A and B are shown apart, each in its own frame.
Chain A
Amino acid sequence: MNGTINAPSIEYAQLFPVLVVFAAAIAGVLVEAFAPRHLRKSIHVPLTLLTLAGAFIATVVTALGGLPATPVAMGAIAVDGPSLFIWGVILFLAFISTLLINDDEQFVAQAAAVPGSADEEDAVRSGFAQTEVYPLLLFAVGGMLLFPAANDLLMMFVALEVMSLPLYLLCGLARRRRLLSQEASVKYFLLGAFSSAFFLYGMALLYGYAGSVDLKAIGQALATVSNQETLLLVGMGMIGVGLLFKIGAAPFQAWKPDVYQGAPTAVTALMASTVLVAAFGAVLRVFWVALGNLDWDWRPVMWGVAILTMIAGAILAITQTDIKRMLAYSSIAHTGFLLTGVVATGAAEQNSKALSALLFYLAAYGFTTIGAFAVVTMVRDAGGEAGHLSRWAGLGKRAPLLAGVFAFFLLAFAGIPLTSGFFGKYAVFTAAVGGGALPLVVVGAVSSAIAAFFYVRVIVLMFFNEPAADGPSIAAPTTATSAVVALAAAVTVVLGVFPQPVLTLADQAASVLFIR
């Protein structure tokens, strides 16, 4: 009948983890508006932690209830095995990042006060810190949950922005070295907006090609539409630019070291772990679901990008003198290792093997990264964290336990056996060999060796150099920070010694691949 509009059907139960995170984010905004200042933090912290824990439990319950065979919310969101695994990982990582963010030493007292002004001194003396970080964190996490689960490009674009916009702000809120922090924020924002515009234009061209932005419809159009290859290939390239920027693959990696160094370390920990997980989920969905039948066209480009990313990350990391920048380049190298899994497509069985390897790698890497950045927050100078590597000399003699844990995280990044990094790399490289990407694995092994050099260099610096007379102080960690370090170390050990349960879980999540 003409004129009637049918209400869309929304599967609220399956979307509960996302909805609860957004609801709590909005509640957080109301707390900012109405709660008195001294109460805000004591409301925000439990609210954020309970929300993330609740969403995690809801994700587990949904997963136990069996996987749906069709996308939900009128085909806009696919709550399938990989989505649920990624949701679980993101929520868990966001929960422990929140414990790190719950540290007033990290965030600016009054973001609007100009650095060095009397306003700023007043704000610092008041003893408060900006509490807007908690609602911003929840909005970003909500976007991260939607981004890898989006089943059409419009939802993916909106999720990309919902994830990115709060992060641009969070980057600029460091308490110390505010000029660096603000600069990181500007750079991240301008480059991020630029790359989103590329994503959007690519989306417009794919819409022009297929007449729909639904991933399944684009996949089907590959077989039926002819004479429109220009639209398709240029669109694919531009969407690729937008997505590769988000994961920080070369040649779009330039923002990563600047942003990771300038942002408050707790926010860096959040970005380095959860954003990478979410963005890889989206990369896989676009290139495997929508453009899966076009793999002959995108695979050679992805090969080049993967090789360039691994080499650039490993080699540039050697020249770094700042610990956070070094970890950023290490993250770029890891992005390259993960990309070797993305190109390892083939038959369905091969795809699910590669997907399972990627999911395991992302989970393992996320925990180790948060642990490493948590250690960075504890080594402090008078002006804030001791970023320069020379300040870390002899740390092993002054704080053996802390330096030992950090050395362990670095070994996990390098992929030494008995750490989670070893099984992650092993799984991804095995899948890549199965997918016929042997040369990539050779490059991966070589750049792993180069990367191991600078990890070991830091360990040597910490344990075999004399400590400086005026070396950095080791801040007495808050309970939350020690819990984060302990948990990250425990996960890194357990996944390195006894990875089978998580591997099995990743296998199950990847067994039926992405639903369309």
Chain B
Amino acid sequence: MTTHYLVLSALLFAIGAVGVLSRRNAIVVFMCVELMLNACNLAFVTFARQHGNLDGQLIAFFVMVVAAAEVVIGLAIIVMIFRTRRSASVDDANLLKY
């Protein structure tokens, strides 16, 4: 019965990955990364259920903490670039190339 949850997790991960590649606003890109991390959490919890051990549930907590730390750093960086350029679009950040 756990298959459904794994399919859902794979779908969420894919939606997140497509979002990262196609969206232009850095905040939305970042939210898509968070979606991918949560897809991982769902997979961990499902596999924990499947194997009957607690490792996966424990890992999900670690991932939440890491994701929270990542939000702190990420929003700081995105706000910094928004204040400088008045835009959070990843297409506008194009000074470094070739």
Contacts and interface: CB of A to CB of B under 8 A. Distances in A.
Contacts of B74: 168, 189, 193
A37 B36 CA distance: 41
Interface string A199-222: 011011101100111000000000
A190 B63 CA distance: 17
B90 A172 contact: no
A187 B37 contact: no
Nearest to B39: A201
Interface string B32-64: 010011011001101100110101100100110
A157 interface: yes
B7 to A, nearest CB: 13
Given A158-B62, A201-B43, A182 B81 contact: yes
B23 to A, nearest CB: 11
A169 B40 CA distance: 25
A183 B93 contact: yes
A200 B62 CA distance: 11
A262 interface: yes
B73 A200 contact: no
A263 B97 CA distance: 14
B50 A258 contact: no
A257 B96 CA distance: 9
B69 A165 contact: yes
6 contacts: A185-B80, A186-B90, A193-B30, A201-B36, A201-B39, A261-B96
Interface string B12-36: 0100110010000010011001001
A256 to B, nearest CB: 11
Question: Which 4 residue pairs spanning A and B have beta carbons closest together?
Answer: A197-B36, A204-B43, A208-B47, A211-B51
B73 A165 contact: yes
A185 B33 CA distance: 16
Interface residues on A, range: 35 or more
Interface residues on B, range: 35 or more
B77 interface: yes
A186 B47 contact: no
A262 B96 contact: yes
Contacts of A158: 62, 66
Contacts of B16: 197
Contact of A169 (B6, B44, B73): B73
A197 B66 contact: no
Contacts of B77: 168-169, 172, 182, 185-186, 189
A111 B80 contact: yes
A116 to B, nearest CB: 9
A111 B84 CA distance: 11
Nearest to B44: A204
Interface in A163-185: 165, 168-169, 172, 178-180, 182-185
B29 A190 contact: yes
A193 B33 contact: yes
B33 A211 contact: no
Contacts of A320: 98
B26 to A, nearest CB: 6
B95 interface: yes
Q: Which one of A112, A154, A193 has the greatest number of beta carbons of chain B within 10 Å?
A: A193
A193 B50 CA distance: 28
B63 A200 contact: yes
B76 interface: yes
A186 B83 CA distance: 13
Nearest to A204: B43
A161 interface: yes
Contact of B98 (A186, A196, A211, A319): A319
B40 A172 contact: no
A271 B81 CA distance: 22
A263 to B, nearest CB: 10
A178 B17 CA distance: 30
Nearest to A166: B73
Given A211-B51, A211-B53, A261-B96, A161 B40 contact: no
